[in-house]
Amino acid sequence: MVDPANTKLGRMLLDQISPAVMVLRTPLVEDSCRRNDLSLIEMLSPYSTFSNIDVPVRTASDQPYRLRKFKLRLFYNSDIRQRSTEAAKERLKQVITHAGDKEISELCSRQAEIESVITTSAQELVPSWFQNFNKELIDAAAFSEHEAFDHPVACLVAVSTKDKDPIGKFVDLFNTTQLPHLLNDGSMDPKILKYYLLVHDNQEGMQEKATGILAEMRSTFGASDCRLLCINSSVDGTEEHQQNSWASHENGASNEKQIGCFLNKDDVEELRNTMHDFSSKHIIPLMELKIRVLNQQVSATRKGFRNQIKNLWWRKGKDDVPENPSAPMYTFNSTESQIRVLGDYAFMLRDYELALSNYRLISTDYKLDKALKHYAGVQEMMGLAYFMLDQSRKDAEYCMENAFTTYAKIGSSCRRNVTRCGIWWAEMLKARDQYKDAAGVYFRFSGEEPLNSAVMLEQAAYCFLMSTPAMLRKYGFHLVLSGDLYKKCDQIKHAVRTYRGALSVFKGTAWSHIRDHVHFHIGKWYALLGMFDEGIKHVLEVLACGHQAKLTQELFLSEFFQIIQETGKTFEVLRLQLPVINFPSIKVMFEDHRTYASPAAANVEESLWQALEEDMTPSVAGLKSNWLELQSKVLPKKYKESNVCIAGEAIKVEVSFRNPLQIPISVSNVSLICKHSTECDKSDPASNGSLDEDKNDTGLRTVSVTGETSTDASLFDLSEVNISMQSGETVSVQLTVTPKVEGNLKLVGVRWKLSGSVIGICNFQSDIVRKKVAKGKRKPKKSLKDNLEFLVIKSLPRLEGTIHNLPQTVYTGDLRCLTMELRNPSKTPVKNLKMKINHPRFLDIADQEVMNFEFPTYLKKQAISSRSCTTLDASKTAKTVFMFPENIASSWQTPIKWPLWFRAAASGSISLYITIYYETEDVSSIIKYRTLRMHYNVEVLPSLELSYRISPSPSRLHEFLVRMDATNKTSSQNFQVHQLSCVVDQWELALLQPMQPIGPNLSLGFLMAGQSLSCFFRLKNCKTRGSTEDKMSSLAKGIADVRLVDSESSGLFDTSVSPFDLFHHQERLHQERHDKGDGNTVDFILIAESQDDSDAEPPRTTAEILSHYACHCRVGSSSPVWWSMDGPRSVSHDFSSGFCEINLNMTVYNSLEDAVSVRINTLDSLPRSNSITNTASVSGYEYGWHDTSHLTDAKVTPDSMGGRVGKALSPESVSPFIWSGSCSTRINLEPLSSAEVPLQISVFCQGTFDVSNYSLQWNLLPGDGGDDGNESRVRSGSCHGRPYHITVLQKEQS
């Protein structure tokens, strides 16, 4: 712990609790002093402070000690009274305003970092004017009657030699009624020491007169109390002082005149001697003496046991005496006052022990007397005495707190004392490093007067900062509180200063409301001070305040615009937060050798296009075939990294803006900032006038309203967009720049104007680097940063392509003829056009002549005869790249139109990618070829769901039953099934039953929404060799079309021509099955027309055709041996004449390429089902009986059937019929040939019989076929008989 006297509080006490001297002077004295631009007190005061006066003093108990530091406080008689409230307030305000003006220059300086703030020493950080301010506050509480240290100890009477009757003046001065009320009202002893000073101005006359007067004075007032002071000895008034003692009194107005200019060395020496003499020989001895006298008196009356008892007794009685508030409670000769004076004098002479003991003594008395103010004053002094003695800290603090609360309790009359006590208390705590407590004290006595509170809160803030560990958040908070109060008192400069301090704490904080509050207010206040740049900088920080309430947002925004308006300039603001730019979503779209027909195409992933174009474009290795060539003319190395774009073609940048506020904002003139440099003026990039990055790091600059956008007009064109954004809206803006001249183009950033007043600039490069955002989407390896620089090359032809009438939404199977149009706006021709489509199943290239025909009617069979039949060229479909004819490519000037077939093959969302490759004829260009990329999305809805089921006909060999189930899956669309065709050569298709109209308007194939339809067809194999049925079906090529529509007028479509065959080919590839059977498959094409009932849609010009393909439908059973039973179905027989013999004929067909041997075994046991049907038939179903399970039976696999037969075998049952003839027949069958086997059964009674109890066993004849290498194939098998029902009836006897 340092010596208490050397602490700040110690120095303060030395300064403020020191003997006061009342100065009385005549006006002429003052005049003489004024020559030096000083008043008498000002002239004397530097010499009334002694750092080492070295006067021996004795304590009351005769302990000698030497007084070192000493100070006299000089006051004019008129100043010895308490200041009025207004005057005090005014003085404080002056101090603050003065301090604020001084520090204005610092407000613009750079913001201090909080780290540096912590390390800065307290002296540097805490404003120095606090000390003055505190002193003013303490002085304001001076000259109270309840404490004695402000009471003048002596009186200095000064009379000039020029005065008439100097002796009389001396007497007059003291006797006038102008003496302070303290002396008059009895608070203090009016008999005080007087010291007579005769002031002689050497400019005015010679010293002789003065000496005479002095002699006279000495005889009148006593020799020791008089002194002559000669001043203004300098002749010309040009004295300069090395150490200007009056520096503190210097005020700005008198700069031209040197202070103390008439005082030469001798004068100064005399001043010093006078004051030293006065202090050491008069004041100190006087005080010492008085202490002794008083001490004796006090000892006599108050010390000792008896006195104490007496005092207590006496005090008790005094309670009843009513207090008189107007008169002082204790006059100077009361014991209490004397004790107090004794204490104060002892304090002033550094005899703290004595002071403390007396204060203690008096303290209880005052308390008993309920003289609260006196009590508090004594407590205060006790605290200070404890502190100076460096004794019990606890007591010191307790006393100070006690004093503080007591003063506060008294109320408004003691407010100044509260303040003074608080300041001392806080200083005391600070001296002991209890900064946190000190801050609490400051906070406690702030509160009434806003200006005082502001300063106190600021001091509290610094206390928090200086406490260990530093309480930065409290520091910031209290600075903000203080700043608000400063603002309330119109001390804006101070408010800004405190907020700046707070900002160092709150900078970048995540506490959004705090940050907004500080930035907004400091910005506003800067603007009030006229420092608009600073103001705007701060208000900008709060613009993107989406988290604030709507009202606050409006307030922020309006304030911002108001500041901008006041400046009257247009500002360009880097990183304007309104609207917010979504950096990851920034997309740069440019076209080098890749060109895009639509923005949608540009958004497709590059890898997709590359995969599509892989075998179409020349590979990179192929391009660089000659390294010499490469060196000579291809890119200069430094441009290798940069992208290539073509003059005259726009680079599009998609930027998405977001309005974070709840209020709508308008953004205008959104455009890109670009930098263009041609190769020749590369050395002078500044000529382009675009954004210079270094310059803009300051973030704010002024531009003329006309701007610099026009300077680059010759080099590139920029698009401008105006948008207005609703609350919280995100708007995506496409900006373009079109370079006009070859050279280098750099996209620097984007610029916009907010509400027509502020220009916001966002620098792509720096912002992206800052945010470390990788662009990633289109080119994962390249960030957006790489996409900002372009090498502009001279213009090239660029094809534009569209596909007309491509529908957005179609039903599955929809078949259309579309037209693709390619256009070359430039004069330069292109060559080597190639095209590739990603989904040939959906979109394929048609022959150009298709354009001449009307679709779809020309596809009908009648129409085809009139033109040459184009059949599918297998080689063409195998190739995926379509080459346009050479003649078209080279010479066309008018748009080229090319037909395309479109078929919605499957439901779902389909993306179609079409890429067209072409080469330019200009060989000198860097870009040799270009591709046009087109992208379309088609939504395909399900329409008809089809399923086919084919089963062998039970009755005929080579015939199959086809069941087609069609379901309309749409909700509103109706379809008319037009025809069903099967494609492969060997088949013939026909309806099972002739078609009958269902209603007047409805034909068989009409399908309402949600309906389903089942049709049965007969499918006949025409490929059979050596069969008699061959002849009748071999008339056509075997392609069979079945019309399912009523009207004869609509002809059948020819499914063998394009586009049917084209898509059939694709479908076959697509629907390929892995489990290939024995090659017996059939492909169906169903053609339907959509019947649109809704009136809302405009009638279509062409009927919509839907084609559905079902490929690889499996035909027949798994067995390679087919057979059919032939014979009568119903026989009438007279059983009375014996049993009935029925001849059956079995035709067996070998569908294999090898010869097989077939054995037919007949079994004479009955399946149980037979007996059941037998009994059923007895109950009257004689004719027309129909086994409903027939159809399903036919489909059951032979294996399960065998199981049924086996189960049904029952040894007990007696068969109603038996097989006649041999029970096993073996035949050999040549490949693809058939043979007939006669069979016979004998029936014994009438009934319906299922002749299925036989089985076929086949096996390949060994050594016959040459392809035995395939071991996996089935070499043998067995089949059970199929149901064949014969009804035998009793023949009626006629």
What is the x/- site pattern for another protein, positions 1-40, by CB under 8 A? Answer: ----------------------------------------
Q: Which stretch binds another protein (CB under 8 A): 57-65, 467-475, 964-972, 1085-1093?
A: 467-475
What is the x/- site pattern for another protein, positions 374-393, by CB under 8 A? Answer: --------------------
Cβ atoms of 191 and 88 closer than 8 Å: no
Work out how close the CB of 480 gets to another protein at its nearest, in angstroms, rounded to a whole number.
Answer: 6
Cβ atoms of 1275 and 1243 closer than 8 Å: no
Cβ atoms of 537 and 523 closer than 8 Å: yes
Tokens 């703290």 -> residue: 352
Distance CA 763, CA 718 (A): 16
689-728 residues near another protein, rule: CB under 8 A: none
Work out how close the CB of 511 gets to another protein at its nearest, in angstroms, rounded to a whole number.
Answer: 5
662 binds another protein per the rule CB under 8 A: no
* CB burial string 1071-1091: b at 16+ within 10 A, e below: eeeeeeebebbbbbbbbbbbe
Q: Which residue in the set 331, 335, 405, 552 belongs to the binding site for another protein (CB under 8 A)?
A: 552
Work out how close the CB of 479 gets to another protein at its nearest, in angstroms, rounded to a whole number.
Answer: 11
1146-1185 residues near another protein, rule: CB under 8 A: none
Work out how close the CB of 559 gets to another protein at its nearest, in angstroms, rounded to a whole number.
Answer: 14
Distance CA 177, CA 172 (A): 10
Q: Which residue in the set 493, 517, 1020, 1065 belongs to the binding site for another protein (CB under 8 A)?
A: 517
Which residue type occupies 183? L
Number of H helices, E strands in the chain: 38, 52
Cβ atoms of 847 and 796 closer than 8 Å: no
Q: Which residue in the set 257, 513, 777, 1195 belongs to the binding site for another protein (CB under 8 A)?
A: 513
Q: Which residue in the set 329, 382, 471, 1082 belongs to the binding site for another protein (CB under 8 A)?
A: 471
Six-digit token string for 1090: 């959509």
Q: Which stretch binds another protein (CB under 8 A): 399-407, 545-553, 883-891, 1075-1083?
A: 545-553
Which residue type occupies 493? K
62-91 residues near another protein, rule: CB under 8 A: none
In the three-class reduction of DSSP (H, G, I as helix; E, B as strand; rest coil), residue 171 is classed as helix
Work out how close the CB of 564 gets to another protein at its nearest, in angstroms, rounded to a whole number.
Answer: 24
Q: Which stretch binds another protein (CB under 8 A): 471-479, 891-899, 926-934, 1133-1141?
A: 471-479
Which residue type occupies 672? L
941 binds another protein per the rule CB under 8 A: no
Work out how close the CB of 1 gets to another protein at its nearest, in angstroms, rounded to a whole number.
Answer: 23
Q: Which residue in the set 514, 927, 1196, 1227 belongs to the binding site for another protein (CB under 8 A)?
A: 514
Distance CA 41, CA 75 (A): 7
Three-state secondary structure of 801-823: EEEECCCCEEECCEEEEEEEEEE
Q: Which residue in the set 209, 292, 360, 473 belongs to the binding site for another protein (CB under 8 A)?
A: 473
Work out how close the CB of 437 gets to another protein at its nearest, in angstroms, rounded to a whole number.
Answer: 13
CB atoms within 10 A of CB 777: 13
Work out how close the CB of 442 gets to another protein at its nearest, in angstroms, rounded to a whole number.
Answer: 14
Q: Which stretch binds another protein (CB under 8 A): 295-303, 384-392, 475-483, 1274-1282?
A: 475-483
In the three-class reduction of DSSP (H, G, I as helix; E, B as strand; rest coil), residue 616 is classed as coil
Q: Which residue in the set 282, 474, 493, 1280 belongs to the binding site for another protein (CB under 8 A)?
A: 474
Query: Which residue blocks in 972-1036 are alpha helix, DSSP H?
Result: 1030-1033
Nearer to another protein, 476 or 801 (CB): 476
Q: Which stretch binds another protein (CB under 8 A): 32-40, 181-189, 272-280, 476-484?
A: 476-484
What is the DSSP pairing of strand 758-763 with strand 570-574?
parallel
Six-digit token string for 368: 């008993």
Contacts for 777 with CB less than 8 Å, ≥ 6 apart: 587
Six-digit token string for 1239: 């069979």
Work out how close the CB of 549 gets to another protein at its nearest, in angstroms, rounded to a whole number.
Answer: 6
Nearer to another protein, 464 or 1109 (CB): 464
Distance CA 390, CA 64 (A): 21
472 binds another protein per the rule CB under 8 A: yes
476 binds another protein per the rule CB under 8 A: yes
- How far is residue 439 from each of residues 131, 200, 474, measured CA to CA in Å? 16, 52, 10
Cβ atoms of 1250 and 1173 closer than 8 Å: yes
Distance CA 1207, CA 1169 (A): 11
What is the DSSP pairing of strand 789-793 with strand 1285-1290?
unpaired
Q: Which residue in the set 239, 351, 516, 844 belongs to the binding site for another protein (CB under 8 A)?
A: 516
In the three-class reduction of DSSP (H, G, I as helix; E, B as strand; rest coil), residue 1278 is classed as strand
Length, in residues, of the chain: 1294
538 binds another protein per the rule CB under 8 A: no
510 binds another protein per the rule CB under 8 A: yes
Distance CA 67, CA 785 (A): 78
Which residue type occupies 751? R
551 binds another protein per the rule CB under 8 A: yes
Q: Which stretch binds another protein (CB under 8 A): 469-477, 677-685, 800-808, 1158-1166?
A: 469-477
Nearer to another protein, 471 or 612 (CB): 471
Angle between helices 335-348 and 352-369 (to 10 degrees): 150
Cβ atoms of 989 and 1039 closer than 8 Å: no
621 binds another protein per the rule CB under 8 A: no
741 binds another protein per the rule CB under 8 A: no
Q: Apex CA 803: angle with CA 798 and CA 807, to 5°?
A: 150
Nearer to another protein, 514 or 774 (CB): 514
Nearer to another protein, 516 or 919 (CB): 516
For the chain, state the CA radius of gyration: 59
Work out how close the CB of 469 gets to another protein at its nearest, in angstroms, rounded to a whole number.
Answer: 8
477 binds another protein per the rule CB under 8 A: yes
Q: Which stretch binds another protein (CB under 8 A): 546-554, 895-903, 965-973, 1029-1037?
A: 546-554
Work out how close the CB of 127 gets to another protein at its nearest, in angstroms, rounded to a whole number.
Answer: 22
Distance CA 649, CA 590 (A): 8
What is the DSSP pairing of strand 959-968 with strand 944-952?
antiparallel
Q: Which residue in the set 438, 480, 1004, 1042 belongs to the binding site for another protein (CB under 8 A)?
A: 480
What is the DSSP pairing of strand 643-646 with strand 789-793?
parallel
In the three-class reduction of DSSP (H, G, I as helix; E, B as strand; rest coil), residue 65 is classed as strand
Nearer to another protein, 551 or 1036 (CB): 551
Environment class of 103 (CB within 10 Å of its CB; exposed 0-12, middle 13-18, buried 19+) = middle
Nearer to another protein, 461 or 833 (CB): 461
Nearer to another protein, 473 or 1070 (CB): 473
Distance CA 1248, CA 1183 (A): 10
Q: Which stretch binds another protein (CB under 8 A): 255-263, 271-279, 293-301, 507-515?
A: 507-515
549 binds another protein per the rule CB under 8 A: yes
Nearer to another protein, 555 or 995 (CB): 555
Q: Which residue in the set 424, 445, 464, 858 belongs to the binding site for another protein (CB under 8 A)?
A: 464
Work out how close the CB of 516 gets to another protein at its nearest, in angstroms, rounded to a whole number.
Answer: 7
Size of the site for another protein (CB under 8 A): 21
* CB burial string 977-1001: b at 16+ within 10 A, e below: bbbbbbbeebbbbebeeeeeeeeee
Distance CA 367, CA 270 (A): 49
Q: Which stretch binds another protein (CB under 8 A): 80-88, 472-480, 1149-1157, 1203-1211?
A: 472-480
Residues that bind another protein (CB under 8 A): 464, 469, 471-474, 476-478, 480, 509-514, 516-517, 549, 551-552
